Structure 1
C-alpha cells in the first residue's frame, strides 16, 4: 500500500513539474515517461525516501497553512524556507528536524530539476545557526565487553531452551560480526554456512551497501563457551532446522530489545548501553588486539575512516577513584598521566630450577633506612628483591642495569618525597 501511494505521490509531483513538456512529447515516448517517477524514487534507499517525503510534506503543510501559494512550495523560495527553518529552531530540541527539512527540500528540488533554495546563502546560514543553537554534547553508549557476554551466557544458558539460546546467539553474532541491528534482523538460516573451522554469514544489505551487492563475513570457530559457531549449531539443532530453511534468527524488533535487557542484571546502569554496544564492543576488542585497518573495514563493512574513528577504538579506559575521606578537585583538561610506546619486547626464559641459597647482589643495593641523612649519589641501585623472581642470572643482571639507569624513579630513603608539578590538588579541611 505504501509503495503504491509513494509512487503516485512522485507521479503527481512529476506531472506538476514537467506537465507542459510531457504534453508536447510524441505518443511513442509517453509510455516511457511513466517509468521515470519510480526510477527517481529508487535513487535513494527506501528509508531515506520515506524520511525525505515526510520532511517535504511537513514543509508543504506549514507553507499552505501560512498562506503561501501551492505553486511556491515546489520550487520553494529561499526567504520562505528561511522563515520555516526559523520557526523550527524555536520549537525543536535538537538539530535533527532542521537537517531533515533542509535535505528533504534539496532532494526534491534536485530530482525535479529545480533551483534549490538550499543553495541560498541565507538558508545555509540559518541552518548553521540552528545547528549551533540546538547542538547538544554527544554521549556515546558504552561497548559490551567479554565479561558481560560471559555473565549473560552463564545466566541464560539452559540445555534445550531455544528462546534463551536465540538471545545468546544474536548477542555473540552482533559482537563477533560487528553487526548493526538491522543486519541482525535480516539474517536467515540459509544465510549461514558452517564449516569445520569457521562460519560464514551473508549480509544481504547494509547501511553502507548502497548498491545491494551483499557481503560475506567470516567468524572463526574457537570452541569456547562463547564461540558463535558452536552456539549457532546448538541453536539450530534445538530448533530442528536445516540449511535450506528461511527461518530468521530474530523475528522482530522486540526480540532485538531483549538483547539489551539480557545484560541488565550484569551492569550497574543499563541505560548506558544500546543495540550498537554489541557492534562497538566487538570492534573495540578487535582493534585493541591490533587488527589491520583493511581487514577491520572489510569485516565491519565501513566506507570511511570517520566511521572507524567514531567508536574510539584506540581509547584506553582508565578508572580514577577517590579513596580518601575528603574531596579532591582536579581542574578540567589536567594531564594526570601519559602513555608511552613500547620500545622493544624481550622473550625471557623461565628458570626451572634455582638454588635455595640467597643470591648476593654484588652491586649492593643495601637498606635505605640506614641512608637517612646521607647525601644521595647521582647514580645508585634501587632496593628491589630479585631473589624470588624466576629470571635467569643473566636476565637478573639485565634488570639490575635497567633499575640503575632509572634509579631516579625510586625513593632514595624514607625522607625522599615525590613531586608532580603539573598536578594541583584542592584539599578541603574541616578545621578552622
Structure 2
C-alpha cells in the first residue's frame, strides 16, 4: 500500500500512517538480525511511542560498531546483535553487567537488578526529550554509516565533520545543538567518552551560533481589551467549538499557562470555588520532577471572566470535573454528516496543531494581522500584570518561571514606562 495512491482527508491520519510505516520497517530490520521472539512480543504488546523510538535506535546500533565497556576492551557487533536486551537500553545493561563482574560479585539477583537499572536509566529524561534525542541520533547514524565510520562510540573528528556538514547545509543553530546533545546523550547512557567535548566540536558550535545569529522577532501580545471584545462577540453562541476556543484563550491568558499545560488538563484538575477557581498543573516544563503546581484564577467582572467562560464550556461539553475525573477537558469534536456536534467521547486531548489553528483563527478576528502565536496569550497576561504593578514575585510564581531572565522575556514594556527612565533624570 502506497501513500501516493490516495490522499488523506486528515493531516493526523497521514502522520499516523508515516509512523506505522516506520515502525513496520524497523520491526523487519530487527527480525533480519534474528531478534528474539520475546523482545518483539514485548514491543508489540506495549507499543508506547517512546519505546518504539528507543527500540528502533538501539536495534540499529546493534548492527554497527562496538560499544566500549570497561574491563572488556569493547563489544563486537556480532555479540551485540545476539543480545536480547539490546533493543531496550542501548547496551546499558551489558555495561552494568560488566561493572558488576569487574567488582568481583556475580549473582542472579544482581543480574535481574541490572536489567531493572538499565530501564530506570532511560527514564532519566522526559519522554519528549528522549524522543527528540532518538530522532537526532538517527540523523547522525544516517550520516556516519554512509561514510563507514563508528556510530557508538563515535570518533570526535567524525562528530566535528558532521557538525561542519550541518553548518554547510545552512542548518539552524537549534538543529546543530540538537544533533550535538543527541550524540552526547547516547554516549552518556553507556558511560562512553563524550566526543562532543573535543575542541574541534566546541569551536564549530560557537561558529554555528555566530553564523546563524539573527535578530529575535517576538510574537505580538494579546490584550485584555481584545479578549473582552472577542467574548462579547460570541457571548450568545451555542457552538461548543466557540466556547472551547474561548475557554482555551481565557485560561492561557489569565493563568499564564503554556499550551501543553492547557491541553493536558483533566476534569479532576479544576476546582470551582465561590469567587475563584483552582487549576492543578500535573506536569510542566519547569517542573521536571513532577511535584505539581496550582494556579488560582479570580472571577472577573466582564464577559471574559475566566471562571464563567470555563463553566459555560464545561456545561456545554458535559465534562466531568468531579474529583477523580480522568476526562481531558480540551478534546476534539465529532462530526455527524459533516456537522460538528460535540466533544468526542474518546478520552484524548486535542492536538497542538489543531489547537493552534483554531485558537489563532479566533484571535485574528479581533487582532487583525498581528504576529500571533499561542505564547502571545501567556506573554499578554504577564505584560498586563507587570504594567499593573503586581509584585514580581507573585506573577513570577503565577506563571511558573524559574528565573528572572525567563520571566522578563515575556513582558513587553510600554513606551510610557520606557520613557520614565530618562524623565527621572530631570534634564
TM-score, length-normalised on structure 1? 0.69
Q: Which has the larger radius of gyration?
A: 1
Alignment pair present for 1:248 and 2:328: yes
Q: Match for 2:385 among 286, 310, 320?
A: 286
Distance 2:154 2:95 in 1: 13
Describe the shift of the 1:222–1:14 C-alpha distance in structure 2 as closer, same or farther (beyond 3 A).
same
CA RMSD of aligned residues (A): 2.5
Matched with 1:66 is 147
Describe the shift of the 1:241–1:5 C-alpha distance in structure 2 as closer, same or farther (beyond 3 A).
closer
Matched with 1:198 is 276
Distance 2:189 2:319 in 1: 46
Matched with 2:403 is 304
Asked if 2 retains the 8 angstrom alpha-carbon contact of 1:185 and 1:249, the reply is yes
Asked if 1 retains the 8 angstrom alpha-carbon contact of 2:50 and 2:131, the reply is no
Distance 2:124 2:260 in 1: 21
Asked if 1 retains the 8 angstrom alpha-carbon contact of 2:93 and 2:118, the reply is no
Deviations 1:36-72 (Å, cap 9, x if unpaired)? 222111111111111111111211221111111xxx3
Following TM superposition, by how much is the alpha carbon of 1:342 offset from its aligned partner in structure 2, in angstroms? 7.2
* Residue aligned with 1:138, SS: coil
Structure-to-structure mapping, 1:277-426, within 5 angstroms: 277-313=376-412, 315-317=413-415, 339=421
Alignment pair present for 1:170 and 2:236: no
Following TM superposition, by how much is the alpha carbon of 1:131 offset from its aligned partner in structure 2, in angstroms? 1.5
More helix by share: 2
Matched with 1:33 is 114
Following TM superposition, by how much is the alpha carbon of 1:6 offset from its aligned partner in structure 2, in angstroms? 4.5
Aligned residues: 323
Asked if 2 retains the 8 angstrom alpha-carbon contact of 1:250 and 1:256, the reply is no
Q: Match for 1:95 among 169, 173, 188?
A: 173
Matched with 1:5 is 52
Gaps of 5+ in 1: 319-335, 344-405, 410-432
Matched with 2:205 is 127
Structure-to-structure mapping, 1:115-264, within 5 angstroms: 115-244=193-322, 245-251=325-331, 252-253=350-351, 254-264=354-364
Distance 1:119 1:317 in 2: 45
Gaps of 5+ in 2: 1-46, 59-87, 332-349
Describe the shift of the 1:135–1:277 C-alpha distance in structure 2 as closer, same or farther (beyond 3 A).
same
Distance 1:126 1:19 in 2: 36
Following TM superposition, by how much is the alpha carbon of 1:84 offset from its aligned partner in structure 2, in angstroms? 0.6
Distance 2:363 2:306 in 1: 17
Describe the shift of the 1:257–1:97 C-alpha distance in structure 2 as closer, same or farther (beyond 3 A).
same
Distance 1:51 1:118 in 2: 18
Asked if 2 retains the 8 angstrom alpha-carbon contact of 1:170 and 1:249, the reply is no
